[in-house]
Structure 1
Amino acid sequence: MRVLFLCLLLCAGSLAAAGPAAGSPRMACPQLAGTGFPQARVSSAKTEGSYCVLHGVLEPGTHFEIRLPTHGWRGRYLQRGCGGLCGQIPLGPADSAECAAPANSGFAVAADDQGHRSADPSDGRWGAHDPGLRRVFGLTSEHSTARLAKAVIARFYGRAPTYSYYDGCSGGGREAMMLAQRYPDDFDGIVAGAPANNWAPLLGLYQPWLARVNTDANGRDILGAEKLPALHRAVLEACGNGNGNGGLGVITDPRHCGFDPASLACARGTDSPGCLTPAQVHTVRELYRGPRDAAGRNLFNGGEPYGSELAWREWLIGGAHSTAARLGLNYLKYLAYRQNPPAGFDLADVRFTDAEFTALNRLGDRIYNANDPDLSRFRAHGGRLLLYHGWADQAISPWSSIDYYAALERSAGGFAASKEFSRFYLIPGAHHCLTGAGTKVDADFLTPVVDWVEHAKAPEAIRTPIVRDSDGTQLVDQTIRPHDALAPAYPDKASLNTGYDYVGSYR
């Protein structure tokens, strides 16, 4: 799994001067070691770089790390979310430049492993026979860590944080939405990136679909990685905006793209990296459309977006070893049902039916899904939410966020009313959690939320340039604005990324 599941980097040095008054520690860092807090134990406390770093355990088994600036604390608390099925604390080395940035901006920082330890964030075996651990992972870990961290902060500095923020992407984005919906008083500002909020059908149907439709009868990939560059180039030639390196740019909105994979079909009896066989044409179409039942109704909001093709290599290619296959199978075998399926259960056993959708959501709605669009309590608390999603997200279809935000707008009383406490941004050319296929989006979403919470400066336009991972070369320069999910899209009628008929709804 990529580092996106391990650490969300923060570039917020500009925040330091504008924040609340600085605070100084009231006690030495080592004095926190061994101290007791309700349902928690601090096992170690020592100074590392600019932080007093605490490690410990929240009952029954959530490992946490809390970092307290040893000087210049400005009354801010930041909690970071964890992606995938977690199992690791998503913070880099305390003395690294990127993870020292929060200290320089006056943040105390914390994160946890969501109740279990695992070297692989697609491993779900920890929850196979423990409903309690499932509940900690799905529902309570982030709330518990927030309560603990605030108590530790109050003891160390002599006062509680003035402002509290949460920043998470993917699984961390699901956690962010869960906090806004079920624990609305915990945080003042929340950043939710590519949220996996529609968790049960995402893990139980969407990921298995991505793996299944690209697997032949012998368990091999139908569409191999060698085909992706030509496919991606053909899509951009048909639908790119031309505003980027090489002139092809990015796809501003996949709903306006009518690319047909059959236009790249190989000549009869031939096969090469520059064309698609009949089986591959069919697979690509199925990927763009997403999981469906026998009646053609979608079992998840959308499919793979046009423009995401280069990132398929790291997500859905590789048969049973692909990220999509491992996440889907681990969820279904160990976490999805009250009674686990037989030990021999495999992706070939997944049923893409309305009945299966309903079965998955029985447990999903209780502890995993974060689909409630009514954020009135979060709004009344004064909370501010910024939600973002990449238009080229290969892991979680952006239509999931579009549908959720449309429901949020309706619940709030329309687009204008929703903007009183929330913003939603769609980013052309951005892969999952803003990274993938050798590029990343060089954007900062936390600073606008801090400005909104602390200075009532609501975010509008945000610059989201795309750069090459290897050397930082800018490939695309773009600025995005808040998206109205209820506005007419005027899609291309031939587009495979339109006309979704989702069996679920956001209530």
Structure 2
Amino acid sequence: MMKLLLAALAAVPLGLGVPAPAPRAPVVGCEALSRVELPGVRIASAAPETVRDNEFCAVHGSFTPGTTFTIKMPTSGWTGQYVQQGCSGLCGSVPELDVPPLGYSCTAALAGKLALAATDSGHRGTDTQPATWGADPRRRVEFGLTSEHKLAGVATAVLRAYYGRGPAHRYFDGCSTGGRQGLTLAQRYPADFDGILAGAPVTNLALLSGVFNPWLVRHNTAADGGQILSAEKLPALHAAVASACGEVINDPRQCGFRPASLRCPSGADRPTCLTGAQVAAVQAFYRGPVDRAGRSLFNGGVPYGSELTWTWFIGPAGTRPAATDAAVIALNYLRYLAYPVNPPPTYSLDDVRFDRATVDRLSVVGDALYRADDPDLAAFRARGGKLILYHGWADGVIPPWSTIDYYRAVERRAGGFTRAQSFSRLYLIPAGYHCLFGPDLHRVTEIGVPELLTPLMDWVESGVAPGELEVPTVTATKPPELVRYLTVQPFDALAPVPPAGRH
């Protein structure tokens, strides 16, 4: 009987705009879910679990072609809200389901009243382990396109089995790769979610991992294979940028810092200055990938103000450039995920060519599986979907330019900024690092994390559109009561680019 009931419920479409019912308790015991049968799904366990003093029924399982998932459902007081969490990097493990990343002060999240779920995106492993799973085309498709869409359906069926009804409102929350997953859902599966938070999204993984990261690594590699610039010089470089443009840079496009202004005296090499070779490397980092004719191959380089995040591709003195995080994940992508036929095991970042032919070769697989920059969100919009994009202005891992370029295209497709605001927002956080993580002890002023899950829920469920954000700052020399806030307005990517100042 349970099997037939679930099959019937699973056939119901995921529809949006369902009125929120009153909180409801489960209609079956948690352990009983281990006996539920769903096509293509194996439930390995179902048992009570405590998270931050909140009681959940935790369901662990997998679905074809081997995607592992976890679903956590409140044992009391469920609000009818379901939040699916994205992964990061090349994924390979189920994210911890505690409080969603951008829901740190969300009341329902802290109280344990949200149903939560996540997957490993179809494979097991870390970013530093060889992505040999990419030899299976099904797992590439799962990682690039289908894992989150499938989980939305599986979670709906499990929620219906446990509570007797499915979610009233569905949300997706992800950053970095999770941001890409969120955009993929809005673009390719517009009926799955009512609201999507997409932070620092990888809109074009092929060019990020196949061109941008190799560019950074190669331009920090000396003739002897060592680093040109080491991490010990980053604080001085950042201090020089802050002196020129401000500790909190509201828009790096207005910064006129010149790396040559930090050049060491002839023959000198000190922690507080840059050699000629280091000046050239830093200029290349800010400029981003170009071909021999100076034509851009990516959406720019790292932004001014991001220097303390360059440890992504720069290590302490003695580090080999090929051992940095950026180099490892780029080579992993290029060897196992980038091409229809994998290159030989001897392939290295030295083999990357910065030209249009490389971009075209990377686009064959990248455009089909990993690209998430289609600006046509008409179907998502028509179903009442709401999208909040956010990005840190000081993100040196995934620079904000690609997100700005994407939202500019969204605005144009929607008919301008005002029409795009009816279903979407972009927030750019001054001095915000990748996925707004921090703080960083090298900076005097730290940027806090704005709470975005509640504004998204209010927009979807009550029609209250988010306006300006109040982003907290933390200053080491001041007590908490003197913390000030930065006001961040929704960003208009079609607005004229402000002129840069001069150092």
Output the TM-score relative to the length of structure 1. 0.88
**Structure 2 counterpart of 1:32:** 33
Task: Classify 1:461/1:194 alpha carbon distance in 2 versus 1 (closer, same or farther; 3 Å).
Answer: same
What does 1:123-202 align with in structure 2 at a 5 Å threshold? 123-202=129-208
Task: Classify 1:71/1:395 alpha carbon distance in 2 versus 1 (closer, same or farther; 3 Å).
Answer: same
**Structure 1 counterpart of 2:281:** 283
**Alignment match of 2:410 (pick from 389, 408, 411):** 408
Q: Separation in 1 of the partners of 2:40 and 2:501?
A: 56
Look up the equivalent residue of 2:497 and give its one-letter code.
A
The answer to whether 1:250 aligns with 2:248 is yes
The answer to whether 1:462 aligns with 2:469 is yes
Q: Separation in 1 of the partners of 2:218 and 2:287?
A: 14
Look up the equivalent residue of 1:32 and give its one-letter code.
L
**Alignment match of 1:420 (pick from 419, 422, 436):** 422
**Alignment match of 1:213 (pick from 198, 207, 219):** 219
Contact 2:431 2:447 in 1 (8 A): no
The answer to whether 1:343 aligns with 2:345 is yes
Task: Classify 1:123/1:418 alpha carbon distance in 2 versus 1 (closer, same or farther; 3 Å).
Answer: farther
Root mean square deviation of aligned Cα: 2.3
Aligned-residue offset at 1:422: 0.2
Q: Separation in 2 of the partners of 1:122 and 1:300?
A: 24
Aligned-residue offset at 1:479: 1.5
Contact 2:200 2:391 in 1 (8 A): yes
Q: Separation in 2 of the partners of 1:355 and 1:466?
A: 45
What does 1:303-452 align with in structure 2 at a 5 Å threshold? 303-317=301-315, 318=319, 319-436=321-438, 437-438=440-441, 441-452=448-459
What does 1:91-106 align with in structure 2 at a 5 Å threshold? 91-92=96-97, 102=109, 104=111, 106=113
Aligned-residue offset at 1:92: 4.8
Q: Separation in 2 of the partners of 1:371 and 1:146?
A: 22
Task: Classify 1:105/1:379 alpha carbon distance in 2 versus 1 (closer, same or farther; 3 Å).
Answer: farther
Task: Classify 1:297/1:476 alpha carbon distance in 2 versus 1 (closer, same or farther; 3 Å).
Answer: farther
Gapped regions of structure 1 (runs ≥ 5): 1-17, 241-248, 496-507
Match of 2:94, SS? Answer: coil
Contact 2:20 2:169 in 1 (8 A): no
Gapped regions of structure 2 (runs ≥ 5): 1-18
Task: Classify 1:462/1:23 alpha carbon distance in 2 versus 1 (closer, same or farther; 3 Å).
Answer: same
Which shows bigger deviation, 249-258 or 137-146?
249-258
Count, aligned residues: 467
**Structure 2 counterpart of 1:501:** none
Contact 2:72 2:97 in 1 (8 A): no
Cα deviation 1:263-311 (Å, max 9, x = unaligned): 0000001111000000000000000011111111111101100000011
Contact 1:150 1:160 in 2 (8 A): yes
The answer to whether 1:76 aligns with 2:86 is no
Aligned-residue offset at 1:492: 1.8
Contact 2:195 2:460 in 1 (8 A): yes
**Structure 2 counterpart of 1:498:** none
Q: Separation in 1 of the partners of 2:347 and 2:109?
A: 44
Task: Classify 1:159/1:93 alpha carbon distance in 2 versus 1 (closer, same or farther; 3 Å).
Answer: closer
Match of 1:305, SS? Answer: coil
Match of 2:135, SS? Answer: coil
Contact 2:448 2:472 in 1 (8 A): yes
**Structure 1 counterpart of 2:8:** none
Task: Classify 1:262/1:313 alpha carbon distance in 2 versus 1 (closer, same or farther; 3 Å).
Answer: same
Identity of aligned residues (%): 51
**Structure 2 counterpart of 1:292:** 290
Look up the equivalent residue of 1:111 and give its one-letter code.
A
Look up the equivalent residue of 2:41 and give its one-letter code.
A
Aligned-residue offset at 1:331: 0.4
Which shows bigger deviation, 423-432 or 83-92?
83-92
Cα deviation 1:173-229 (Å, max 9, x = unaligned): 000000000000000000000001111101111111111111112221111111111
Task: Classify 1:472/1:54 alpha carbon distance in 2 versus 1 (closer, same or farther; 3 Å).
Answer: farther
**Structure 2 counterpart of 1:3:** none
**Structure 1 counterpart of 2:494:** 486
**Alignment match of 1:60 (pick from 55, 62, 65):** 65
**Structure 2 counterpart of 1:7:** none
What does 1:491-506 align with in structure 2 at a 5 Å threshold? 491-492=499-500
Look up the equivalent residue of 1:222 and give its one-letter code.
I
Contact 1:315 1:394 in 2 (8 A): no
